[in-house]
With several copies, the nearest count.
Chain A
Amino acid sequence: MNMPQGQGNLDAMKAEMIFVADLFNKMSEMCFKKCVPRFHDGDLNTGEPVVCADRCVGKYVEATNKVGEVMQQLQQGQAPQ
C-alpha cells in the first residue's frame, strides 16, 4: 500500500506485483477464517459471509496502511503516539 509508484523500473514493478499478490492472498485466507468459521453449505450468495467479506476487506486494507505507518515511524526512530 505504501509502495513507490512504478517509474518504468521493471524490478520495482515486479516487487510491487508480488507484494500486492501476497497481500491479497494473506487477506483472503485471514478473512475466510474470520468470516466462515464453519463449512455448512456450499452457497455463499445469501446472508452473512458476503457482508462480512466486504467489511473484512475494508478493515484489512486499513490495517495494512496502519502497519505501514508504524513501520516508517519506527525506522525513523520516532516512537508513535
Chain B
Amino acid sequence: QAQQQQEQMRLMEMMQEMQVADSLRMYNELVQRCFGHCVENFRSRKLDGKEEACIVRCCQKFLKFTQRATQRFQEHQQEMAEEAAKAQQNK
C-alpha cells in the first residue's frame, strides 16, 4: 500500500511538471502566433502602438477561445468515461 501511495505521488508530480511545461510551451506558441499576425514592419526595434494593441487583442481572443474549447473538451471526456464505465457494468 505504501508503494501505491508512492506511485500516486510520482504521478501527481509528473502531472504538475507536465502542466508547467505545457503552459510555457503554450505561452511561446501564443507569442509566435500573434507576432506573426501583428508585426510586419522592421523600421524600428520597438513595437509601435498599433502592433502592441494588435498583440493584446490577439492574445485575449486566443485565450478566451481556448478556455471555451477546454470546457467543451472536458465535457466530452467526461461523457466518454461515463460510457466506458456503463459498458463495463453491462458485461
Q: Which residues of A contact B (CB under 8 A)?
A: 1, 5, 8, 10-11, 13-15, 17-36, 39-45, 49-64, 66-68, 70-71, 74, 80-81
**Which residues 39-70 of B sit at the A interface, judged by CB distance below 8 A?**
39-40, 42-47, 51-52, 54-66, 68-70
Interface centre among A15, A39, A43, A49 (most CB of B within 10 A): A39
Q: Which residues of B contact A (CB under 8 A)?
A: 4, 7, 10-11, 14-15, 17-18, 20-22, 24-32, 34-40, 42-47, 51-52, 54-66, 68-70, 72-73, 76-77, 80, 84
**Which secondary structure dominates chain B's binding surface?**
helix
**Cβ-defined contact, B64 with A44, below 8 A:** yes
**Cβ-defined contact, A63 with B47, below 8 A:** yes
Whether A66 touches B52, Cβ cut-off 8 Å, given contacts A8-B4, A18-B18, A26-B32, is yes
